[in-house]
Structure 1
């Protein structure tokens, strides 16, 4: 069991390097690595709510709120009151976001190529599937622990 005790260390290193890469790639657009995830999710899911956005990435509502606020300040997203429930706000990307979304999507593909350099197609697929399983396991464990509080 202990032979894999450093896997978290390498996940953490990858995350920090990921953040540095995206901060560098997106600095021209005045957004950091923290906002790129949120912008892409809003782009892929127009009209999603703040709660849906936060839940999708396993973020707390305050983090999602700060990210959306920053994106609004830069003119990349806008929020509108939902027609079905005036307490709910829907989030959409603006036309101004097109260039940053395109650059972000390119950067996502480039980053995958960088970190998977030398991997076969099968290894790339396997690595992705293993990370998905790890994320699921972690999420499931955290949810179980919340239920015990």
Structure 2
């Protein structure tokens, strides 16, 4: 099931498409990122074929077809770690602990922002999956949706 991510709040049409082809038969595309001319710098951290073919969608849209763990790794590497200096590998692989540490960092000297609140929400979902109170597939879908919302809130706060 593809996951829709929005890494900018820009409403401009895309002019560049970065598409990474999958190496498996059941998933011909890993992801597709669309960015406008002003935000093409965001594409520097995404590998894949770059072209204008199929451009014209909204800037910042990522359609991600990768498995859950790979999408979470992408969120961590490209967004969570730069924002909070935390990742699951810093907490024995515990995503919820990394998200809580990020929440604590973002709220240490100030009131919680939408991004911080979203991180805490994702941590609660991850805890519920671990505890077995949320079925795995449904919980993973909720984690990805909440991470995407948090990333979009952060993009808006940064003016991206």
Q: TM-score range by the shorter chain?
A: under 0.3
TM-score (norm 1): 0.26
TM-score (norm 2): 0.24
Q: Which has the higher helix share?
A: 1
More RCO (CA 8 Å, sep 6+): 2
